Amino acid sequence: MRSLPSSLLAAFLLLATLPAAAQAPDAAALYARECAACHGADRFGGAGPALLPESLSRLGREQAEKVIAEGRPATQMPAFGDRLTPTQISALAAYLYTPPAEIPRWGKAEIEASRVVRVTTAELPDRPRYEADPLNLFVLVESGDHHVSIIDGDRFRRLARFESRYALHGGPKFSPDGRFVHFLSRDGWVTRYDLWSLRIVAEVRAGINSRNLAISGDGRVLAVANYLPTSLVLLDAETLAPLEVIPVRDRWKKTPSRVSAVYLAPPRESFIVALKDLPEIWEIPYGDPPPATFPGFVHSYEKGMVEALPGRERFPIRRIELDRPLDDFFFDPSYRHLIGASRSTGEAVVVQLEVGRPIKKLPLAGMPHLGSGISWLREGRRVMATPNLKKAAISVIDMENWRPIREIPTLGPGFFIRSHENSPYAWADVFFGPNRDAVHIIDKRSLEIVRTLRPMPGKVSGHVEFDRYGRYALLSIWDREGAVIVYDARTLEEVTRIPASKPSGKYNVWNKITFSEGTSH
C-alpha cells in the first residue's frame, strides 16, 4: 500500500485535530439533534411548524438565521445562539431551505390521523356567552406572536385572545350563520372555532404547505388549497373529517400543479380553483346536483372537460382551459365572470364562467392584487378597483364593458383596498416603499383622493375593515408593538386604539357572511 505524501498527510492530521466548530457542520445531524423534537424528523412539523422551503418563503435566509440564534418572542421557539456557532447556524438555515429528498405523502389516512375533536356538538352552548352582538364581532389575526383576538365591534374591546397555529394564511372563513370561523395555517392546519363559546372545536392538518381555504354556501364542506402536496382537500366542515383528496394534475394525469387558491362561488354552488402551474381553472360543485343541469357543465361535457373522481359521482371537476396560469381572482357579484391575473406577467383577463373561456384582456401591467379588489355602483354602472403590487396607482375598471376608466395615482404600490356599501369612501394603503405609513381615502364618486392619513408615522399601515353598519373603519398598524386604530368612517377622525402584535388582518362576521361589496370574499 502506498503511503500518503507528507504534505497531504499533515493536512489530513491537522483537519482531524480541529474542533468540530471549525469543520463543515453536518446540518442534517444538527437538525436531528436540535430541531426534530418540535418540528418533526422529516421537517413536516409537529409541536412547531413545518420547516420546508415552501413554509419559509416569506421569512428569508437572513431572518431565519436570526430566529435560530435569538429565538422568537412570545412563542416556544428558543434561542440557539449560546450553543451553536454562527457557522452552524448558517448551515442549519441552508438545510431548512433545501427541498426534502422525497415528496411527502399526505393523503386521506394521514389527514384523518391528525384530526383532533376538542369539543363535541353536544357540549356547545345554545346562545352566545357574552352580551355583544355576535354578528358584529371582528376576528383579529395577530401575526406578531401568532394569536387571534375576538373583538366586540360595538364597544371595541377584546372578548377573547388565544394562541393560533403558526402563520395563519389567507382570510378566515365563517359558517353561513356566522357562528363558526375556520382558520388555515401555512403548514396546513385547519382550526374550527366557535364564536359563541369562544372555544376551539376541532383541528386537522389538511396539507404540508397550504394557501387558503373556502367554505361552501351551505356550510357543509371546506376546501383547502395546497402547494405541498399538490392537492385540493375537501373536508366535512362540522367534524373536519376528510371527504376527498384530489391530486391536482393536468387532464392527462402527468403534470402536477400547486393550488394557488380556492374560492366560493355562491350562486353557482361551486368552488373555483386557481392553479399555479397549469393553464386551467377548475370548477367543482360541492352539493349533489346532476352535472347536466349545472351552469356551464353542459358546454364543458361537450368539450370533454368534465371528469368525476374514480368511484364517486360527487365533486366532479370541470376544467376551463386558458392561455396561461392565473393565480389571483376577482369575481363580479353574479359570479358569472372572474377577472384573473398572473403574478408573473401582470396581465389580467376576464373569464366568462358559463361558456368557460376568456372573453377579454385587461391592460393592468402593475401586477394587480385582484384578491383585494372591491366593487361598487358609480353613476349607475358597477366598477371595481384594485391596488397594484408594482405600481403606485389604483386601477378602476368598468365592469359592464371591462375597460379601465381611471388610474388613481398613489404614494406607492398598495396591498389592500376596502370600503362598505354605506360609506362614500374607499380606503387604500400604501404598503410598499418609503410611504408605507400612509393610507389614502378615496371618494367613490369622483375617484379622487380626498385625504391621506399617517396613523403612526414610520410604521406600516394596512388592511382596513368596516363594522357591519359601515359606521367605523378599523385599520392595522403592522408592527410587533402595533395597534388596531378605530376611525369614525364619516368624519375620518380617530375614535380609539386597541394594542395588538402585528395585526395582519381583521374580519367582520356580518360583512363576510353577507358578502359586503366593500370587502374581499
The average confidence (pLDDT) of the chain is 88
What length is written for the chain?
Answer: 521
Q: Cα(302)–Cα(138) distance, rounded to whole angstroms?
A: 46
The β-bridge relationship of strands 221-228 and 403-409 is unpaired
Q: What is the mean pLDDT of residues 401-418?
A: 95
- The grid cell for 451 is 385625504
Domain with CATH 1.10.760.10 in the chain: 6-96
pLDDT exceeds 80 at position 282: yes
pLDDT of residue 47: 59
209 or 236, greater pLDDT: 236
**Cell 370600503, residue located:** 419
Q: What is the pLDDT of residue 20?
A: 41
* Residue 63 to residue 60: CA distance in whole angstroms: 5
Give the mean model confidence (pLDDT) for residues 191-213.
96
Query: Which of 507, 469, 463, 512 has the alpha carbon at shortest distance from 483?
Result: 463
pLDDT for residue 46: 62
The CATH superfamily assigned to 6-96 is Cytochrome c-like domain (1.10.760.10)
pLDDT tens, 365-396?
778 899 899 999 999 999 999 999 999 999 99
Question: All 3 cell numbers of residue 351?
Answer: 373569464
Prior bond of 229 cis (ω within 30°): yes
Give the pLDDT confidence of 463-497 residue by residue, as tens digits: 999 999 999 999 999 999 999 999 999 999 999 99
Model confidence at 306, pLDDT cuts 50, 70, 90, reads confident
Smallest Cα–Cα separation from 462: which of 491, 433, 424? Answer: 433
- How far is C-alpha 516 from the chain's CA centre? 19
**pLDDT tens digit sequence for 53-66:** 766 765 778 888 88
Find where cell 395577530 sits. Answer: 142
Angle between helical axes of 27-34 and 86-96 (0-180°, round to 10): 90
Question: Considering the domain 378-521, what is its CATH architecture?
Answer: 7 Propeller (2.130)
Give the confidence band of 24 by pLDDT, cuts at 50, 70, 90: low
509: Cβ contacts below 8 Å, ≥ 6 apart: 134, 135, 136, 137, 138, 139, 174, 178, 181, 195, 468
pLDDT above 80: residue 351: yes
CA distances to 48, 107, 120, 247, 434 from 113, in Å: 18, 10, 18, 19, 47
Task: Report the range of poorest mean pLDDT among 3-7, 176-180, 244-248, 413-417.
Answer: 3-7
Q: What pLDDT, on the 0 to 100 scale, is given for residue 303?
A: 66
What is the number of other CB atoms lying within 10 angstroms of the CB of residue 490? 14
Count of CB atoms situated within 10 Å of the CB of 163: 13
**Could you tell me the pLDDT band of residue 299, with boundaries at 50, 70 and 90?**
low
Residues 396, 385: contact at Cβ < 8 Å?
A: yes
And the C-alpha cell for 454?
399617517
pLDDT digits (tens, 9 = 90+) for 111-141: 999 999 999 989 999 999 999 999 999 999 9
Using CA atoms, how far apart are residues 118 and 120, in angstroms rounded to an integer? Answer: 7
How many secondary structure helices (H) and strands (E) does the chain include?
8, 34
Q: Which of 338, 296, 331, 332 is nearest to 317 (CA)?
A: 296
pLDDT at 178 over 70: yes
C-beta of residue 196 within 8 angstroms of C-beta of residue 220: no
pLDDT reported for residue 22: 45
Residue-wise pLDDT tens digits, 418-467 = 999 999 999 999 999 999 999 999 999 999 999 999 999 999 999 999 99
Taking the CA atoms of 95, 99, 101 and 104 in sequence, report the sign of the dihedral they define: positive
Q: Quick check: 499 and 508 in contact, CB under 8 A?
A: no
166 vs 210: CA distance, rounded Å: 12
CB burial class (10 A; 0-12, 13-18, 19+) of residue 177? exposed
Dihedral in degrees, nearest 10, Cα atoms 14, 16, 22, 26: 150
Question: Which residues make Cβ contacts (< 8 Å) with residue 252, sequence separation at least 6?
Answer: none
- Taking 90 as the threshold, does the pLDDT of residue 4 lie above it? no
Residue pair 329/272 in contact by the 8 Å Cβ criterion: yes
Q: Supply 364's cell numbers.
A: 393592468
Share of the chain above pLDDT 70, in %: 88
DSSP string, 162-189: EE--SSB-S--EE-TTSSEEEEEBTTSE
**Grid coordinates given for 304:** 370533454
- DSSP secondary structure string for all residues of 441-466: EEETTT--EEEEE-SSTTS-EEEEEE
Q: Over 70: is that where the pLDDT of 327 sits?
A: yes
State the average pLDDT over residues 327-333.
Answer: 91
Residue 293 pLDDT:
62
pLDDT tens for 49-99 read 778 776 676 577 888 888 888 887 546 678 888 888 888 888 888 888 887
- According to the model, what pLDDT value does residue 2 have? 47
Strands (E), 229-342: 231-236, 242-247, 259-265, 270-275, 280-285, 306-307, 317-321, 328-331, 337-341
Query: Which residues make up the CATH 2.130.10.10 domain(s) of the chain?
Result: 378-521
Count Cβ atoms below 10 Å from residue 104 Cβ, excluding itself: 16
In this predicted structure, what is the pLDDT of residue 127? 96
